Amino acid sequence: MLRTATRRFRAADTVYNAIMQGRGRAVGGRSGRGGGRGRGGRQQQHMSSSTSSSGDTFNKNGTSYNRRRQNQKPGRGSGSNRSNNTRATQNQQTSHSKPINIETTNFQSIFHNKLCRAAKYKVHAPLCSCPKVVTLRQRYDNTTQNKVKANNETATMSSGNNNIGGYSNDQIQFDIDGNITHQLSQLDITSSSSSNDNNNHPFDNLIVLPDTKGSNPSIYSCTNTNLQSFQKDGISCEQKLAIEIFGNTSTTTDKVCSTDKNKIPPFKVNCAICLLTTHQRNGFVAIISNSYNELQSTITSARKSSLMKQSKGKKLHSDHAHFVCALKLSSLYTLLSAGRTRSKNEMVTKDILMQIRNDGGVDCLSAEMNNESTTSVQIKMGHHLTSLLWLLQDDKPPKSSNNNVKYIMVMGYIDSSNAIELDLPGGKRHLGETTLQGVIREVEEECSLQIDYDWLVSHVSKRYGGNKDTGEGDGSIQVLEPRKVKGSVSGDAFFVMTPPPDTY
């Protein structure tokens, strides 16, 4: 009897403690961000409450305080973030379910002026593996499959009619599973202005995408530039697309400026990394010699050409260098290895400034740069010059006169009275250009140096638009391709050459 009474007493005590704990939560309330403020305290003390076995506290009307607290509108805490994330996910799913607009004509008037109005566009290779293109291609394929399923259902419902889903029986063929396997291009999947009269996949062409972060962009597909045609003659495919974008122009370009006549917003077109790595790359020139006088003759030719332009009233390109000079290659290596070490930077900066002042042809330095005892001038190297120096350190030099190089031609940009940036001539190629054509144009625009096209083509392989089948000529030109720059795949090619013949 005593044991039974003890057990009953302990059970009653446990129930009492549970009731008091539940009442304490109901009376005291919580002031957390997600629990609703001002619900607890004195107002709830006057309510008669009881506790269920699940721990919820009920008032006399049978309403749970805890459940009512959960149903309240969330505040600025995690509940609001969850609702925002849910809303963003729904918007993303809605945008992914929308059909993709694919245009094949009227790039400027329709695709750019009415649909995209982007400032920059990128051209991708046929069936490329760029993440953005792969995502859009999957969306397009899913839309196509949904269209096919819808037509299959329509064909099943109207199997007794002569016309199946709006198409005659001789236009559509079905396989064993009932799927349409013939003339899928006749289905109206894209916009009304894009004609699917070709049997190719729209992504199996050169395509143009706006360089934006939108999840539902329009796509411009250049017809008759599929992978097979592109591998056979990629330059012709690019030139066809360039004509559709820029019109019939005698010279290549990469941008369109707005005019009052057509009122089309300005835009610029660049080649995507897939197009550079699989086809023609961007080109940069590094003229290196172990003779200062030999290199100085090339620099003098560039300076004379620049003065001739200005004397004829021609404006220099916006990317034209402020000066061109020859520097010791060892000084640039020291600047590269100095990093953020202050003492090494000051020492190598004084050395480079002294070389620029002793050049004799640089007359655009500020008074502070001409001061031999200055320590406030900063010299930094551009992205492409830095990449070349790392390549020259990693790769063995060719067996030629470039074994003991000491001087390199660099361009200088004066950013302020105490800042200079050094870099190499070269840049991005235009759509329809070979790497060599882009190199010659960029070098002339940035430093006025005119390189003989026939001489350059005769020393470079066909991989870059030259005439050589194999190899790289007689060793006067070496082509280096960096695999990655700062963790990203590079689409550049560096032409390390001896001073070219004087064409001035």
| Four-CA torsion 338, 339, 345, 349, nearest 10 degrees | 90
pLDDT for res 439? 96
Q: What does the pLDDT profile of the chain (504 residues) look like in tens digits?
A: 556 666 666 776 776 666 666 555 444 444 444 444 444 444 444 444 444 444 444 444 444 444 444 445 444 444 555 555 555 555 555 455 567 889 999 999 999 999 999 999 999 999 999 999 999 999 888 887 777 667 776 666 655 554 444 444 444 444 444 444 433 333 333 333 334 444 568 999 999 999 988 766 799 999 999 999 999 999 999 999 999 999 876 667 777 775 555 678 899 999 999 999 999 999 999 999 998 999 999 999 999 999 999 999 999 999 999 999 999 999 999 999 987 778 888 999 999 999 999 988 898 998 889 888 888 899 999 999 999 999 988 654 444 444 565 899 999 999 888 999 999 999 999 999 999 999 999 999 999 999 999 999 999 998 999 888 765 555 679 999 988 776 788 999 999 999 998 766
DSSP states along 71-116: TSPP-SSHHHHHHHHHHHHHHHHHHHHSPPPEE-S-IIIIIIIIII
pLDDT for res 372? 84
Summarize pLDDT for 423-447 with one digit per residue, the tens. 999 999 999 999 999 999 999 999 9
Cβ proximity of 272 and 121 under 8 Å: no
Residue 468 CB partners (closer than 8 Å, separation 6+): 458, 459, 460, 461, 462
Cβ proximity of 426 and 284 under 8 Å: yes
User: In terms of Cα–Cα distance, which of 305, 333, 336 is closest to 321?
Assistant: 305
Look at strands 323-328 and 484-485 and give their pairing: unpaired
pLDDT for res 103? 94
Residues in the chain: 504
Look at strands 282-289 and 407-416 and give their pairing: antiparallel
pLDDT for res 273? 95
Look up tokens 């329809």; give the residue.
Answer: 432
Long-range contacts of 228-234 (CB under 8 A, 24+ apart): 230/125, 230/126, 230/206, 230/279, 234/279, 234/280
DSSP states along 22-69: HHHHHHH----SSS-TTSSTHHHHTS-EEE-TTS-EEETTS-BHHHHH
| Calpha distance 344→383 (Å, rounded) | 21
| Four-CA torsion 357, 361, 362, 364, nearest 10 degrees | 130
Whole-model pTM: value is 0.71
pLDDT for res 269? 95
